[in-house]
Amino acid sequence: MIQSLLIANRGEIACRIIRTARAMGIRTVAVYSDADAKALHVRQADEAVHIGASPARESYLVGEKIIAAALAIGAEAIHPGYGFLSENAEFAQAVIDAGLIWVGPRPASITAMGLKDAAKTLMAAAGVPVTPGYMGENQDPAFLADRAAEIGYPVLIKAVAGGGGKGMRKVEAVANFADALASCQREATASFGNAHVLIEKYIQRPRHIEVQIFGDTHGNIVHLFERDCSLQRRHQKVIEEAPAPGMDAATREILCAAAVKAAKAVDYVGAGTIEFIADASEGLRADRIWFMEMNTRLQVEHPVTEEITGVDLVEWQLRVASGEALPKRQEELSINGWAMEARLYAEDPAKGFLPSVGRLEGFRLSSYECRVETGYEEGDWVSPFYDPMIAKIVVHSASREETADRLSSACASALVWPVRTNSSFLSRGAAEPEFVAGQVDTGFIERHELNLCTRRGPDEKTLQIGISEVLKRVEQPDLDKRAMRDRRFAIDLHGLRLNSNRKNAHWIAVDGRALELSPNYKGGTAWNIEYVGESGVLVSDDDGQLVHFDVARTDGSAHGPASSGTILSPMPGRIIAVEVAQGQTVTKGQKLLTLEAMKMEHSLIAPFGGVVAELNAVAGAQVQVEALLARIQPVEQT
């Protein structure tokens, strides 16, 4: 068995691997960039090695640094996690050449499945059904246009070296083909250095179904059933589940057998996923499911397979890499219940899914009857350098309906502040009747996006007025703050009813359903109030919108996204005064600049003490809403 393991990744997958390795008695080594010096995976590992600057291209993507770190610290093996270098055959070979154990498939298998056109040709030769299309070498635009016409519109143009939705275009008619092809090739060249494309039939009601396979060095290959990853936004997975809804036993047997056949065609070792595209216009049928691609690594969504099979896939990876045979035979594997996973991203769906970064001053994810995979704890920083996924929320229960209901509740209860997340977007998606009924396909989110993203709560001004009244009462001496933490209490003033019937070691939770913000507000949104020590209250609605109010202020002022250190213009206006300079040290509450808008002056202040790391404000300049005016960096982060 491997005795020491370096994890060439970060975030939740690094923490996930560390957990299993530690349970197996394996010493773990983390690697980290400048931005991740205090990250959770660094704190959890037995040892950690610094490998470079914050940008991934200067740290996590530099294979030589990772191998050098493993050799210097005496690690025996390298696990790549997923992303970064996990499907890089040259890196895998370099690890092996350095005398280290590579926890992954053979480099030749990675190479064979790395290009979509070559992989499809290989699969067709192996008898695995592939999507109708053209995968040849001739890249002449006129020739490709003819092939598209033969296949029949709509068609999909895909970069052969693509991934993550890049270098992919849907074309509805011949008149749009030339422009779409040129655009696709430009993006493919910029992203992958390869303009080569393939053309395939566009499936009208596609389902994205993948099969988890696993092989060992003794010639054994098994499947661990299928997952449905159809809920996607711009080709990025959002909610995954296992098994696939509507999959009957006969179709499952044919699909999984095809996946095993595909794995055997490349002599596969380790964890891998065979991805299929299904035409679900007439339900799931074996003759309407085709091979799409293979991921030669562990998938982000692997926990749902673990939940329904009771298998620890990371443990299997480590055992296979150590030369052991697969722990179970095919006949010993079965499906138990249903599992779903939601990807919690640091982004704001109500603002076009803009990424959100900053310090997680509040970070509480439900652990009640659900599994949470994350690389963050309260107080950690969400960096702008890496993927915005901050957690995975996984639920497993006996039925699909129960699982969807519990997933929706778990997502709704997530409390993350001031960083914005897609928690309410996920909660609504899991509760959407069409989803609950199993009517899923890759167009689901596009059809429902307006409903999933629209906030329904009262405007922030209404909230400010109501909470300022609560804060005035909180400051009154007759309210025992210690009693607030220890027992049920109620405040009733000016139509505002604030009830508490729960306790928590750090937070005071208030039942928002008993809070009416204004007699004029007719909406039905529930509001939750969290009493944060002596500093203030954190207010959230069921849309995931959170606002922080300082106890010291009773004028209704709120600290929103600025608490991350990023100072954005709250509205279009003109800067009339700039009070600080770049590099200057400031204190909490210090005025940074003054904005004139809507015939009023608005002072923007420092949310905490630190240094003015960035300053884009110039007196007299006109600015648009949410323009980045300044960024305050805490002293400990400089």
Q: Which residue has the higher pLDDT, 350 or 96?
A: 96
Residues 38 and 69 in one domain: yes
Contact between residue 77 and residue 102 where contact means Cβ atoms under 8 Å apart: yes
Residues 358 and 312 in one domain: no
Residues 155 and 196 in one domain: yes
Looking at residue 236, what is its pLDDT? 86
For residue 197, being part of any structural domain is answered with yes
Q: How many CB atoms lie within 10 A of CB 602?
A: 15
Contact between residue 334 and residue 354 where contact means Cβ atoms under 8 Å apart: no
CATH assignment of the domain containing 613:
2.40.50.100
At 95, the pLDDT band (50, 70, 90 cuts) reads very high
Residues 299 and 212 in one domain: yes
At 83, the pLDDT band (50, 70, 90 cuts) reads confident
For residue 393, being part of any structural domain is answered with yes
- φ, ψ dihedrals at 219, nearest 5°: 90, 5
For residue 513, being part of any structural domain is answered with yes
Supply the Cα-derived Rg of the chain in whole angstroms: 27
Q: Which residue has the higher pLDDT, 414 or 30?
A: 30
- Considering the chain, what percentage of its residues have pLDDT values greater than 90? 55
Residues 187 and 99 in one domain: no
Name residues whose C-beta falls within 8 Å of residue 189's C-beta, 6 or more positions apart in sequence: 195
For residue 141, being part of any structural domain is answered with yes
Q: Which residue has the higher pLDDT, 567 or 67?
A: 67
Looking at residue 273, what is its pLDDT? 96
Q: What average pLDDT does the segment 577-602 reach?
A: 82
Among 420, 454, 488, the domain-final residue is 454
Looking at residue 601, what is its pLDDT? 65
CATH assignment of the domain containing 375:
3.30.470.20
Distance CA 400, CA 394 (A): 13
DSSP code per residue over 528-578: EEEEETTTEEEEEETT--EEEEETT--S---B-GGGGTEEE-SSSEEEEEE
At 164, the pLDDT band (50, 70, 90 cuts) reads low
Determine which one of 297, 359, 406, 420 is catalytic.
297
Looking at residue 599, what is its pLDDT? 46
Distance CA 225, CA 517 (A): 49
Angle at alpha carbon of residue 241, lines to 240 and 245, rounded to 5°:
125
Residue 574: active-site member: no
CATH assignment of the domain containing 39:
3.40.50.20
Residues 154 and 88 in one domain: no
For residue 115, being part of any structural domain is answered with no
Six-digit token pair at 64?
A: 């030589």
**Interstrand relation of 4-7 and 77-79 (parallel, antiparallel or unpaired):** parallel
For residue 13, being part of any structural domain is answered with yes
Report in angstroms the alpha-carbon separations of 94 from 106, 216, 298.
12, 21, 20
Residues 168 and 269 in one domain: no
For residue 119, being part of any structural domain is answered with no
Residues 393 and 500 in one domain: no
| 3-class secondary-structure state, position 405 | helix
Burial class (CB in 10 A: 0-12, 13-18, 19+), 627: middle
pLDDT tens for 349-383 read 877 787 777 888 778 887 668 999 999 998 899 88
Looking at residue 521, what is its pLDDT? 29
Looking at residue 364, what is its pLDDT? 82
For the chain, report the end-to-end CA distance as a whole number of angstroms.
42
Looking at residue 468, what is its pLDDT? 53
Mean pLDDT of the residues in the chain: 82
Looking at residue 464, what is its pLDDT? 52
Looking at residue 367, what is its pLDDT? 66
Out of 147-161, 169-183, 260-274, 585-599, pick the least confident. 585-599
Q: What average pLDDT does the segment 443-468 reach?
A: 69
Residues 522 and 581 in one domain: no
CATH assignment of the domain containing 175:
3.30.1490.20
For residue 559, being part of any structural domain is answered with no
Residues 479 and 429 in one domain: no
Residues 280 and 241 in one domain: yes
Q: Give the range of the structural domain holding residue 475, as residue numbers without chain letter.
A: 460-550
Residues 235 and 321 in one domain: yes
Among 293, 309, 336, the domain-final residue is 336
Six-digit token pair at 433?
A: 């009747």
* Position 459 pLDDT exceeds 60: no
- φ, ψ dihedrals at 106, nearest 5°: -60, 145
Among 301, 336, 371, the domain-final residue is 336
Looking at residue 368, what is its pLDDT? 67
Q: Which residue has the higher pLDDT, 430 or 563?
A: 430
Looking at residue 455, what is its pLDDT? 65
Say how many domains are in the chain: 6
Contact between residue 264 and residue 294 where contact means Cβ atoms under 8 Å apart: no
pLDDT tens for 473-532 read 444 444 444 444 333 333 333 333 333 334 322 222 233 222 333 222 233 344 444 444
Place of tokens 């036993």: 249
pLDDT tens for 304-360 read 999 999 999 999 999 999 999 999 999 999 999 999 999 999 888 877 787 777 888
Name residues whose C-beta falls within 8 Å of residue 265's C-beta, 6 or more positions apart in sequence: 122, 123, 125, 126, 128
Looking at residue 106, what is its pLDDT? 96
pLDDT tens for 280-298 read 988 899 989 999 889 999 9
| pTM score of the predicted model | 0.74
Q: What average pLDDT does the segment 38-50 reach?
A: 98
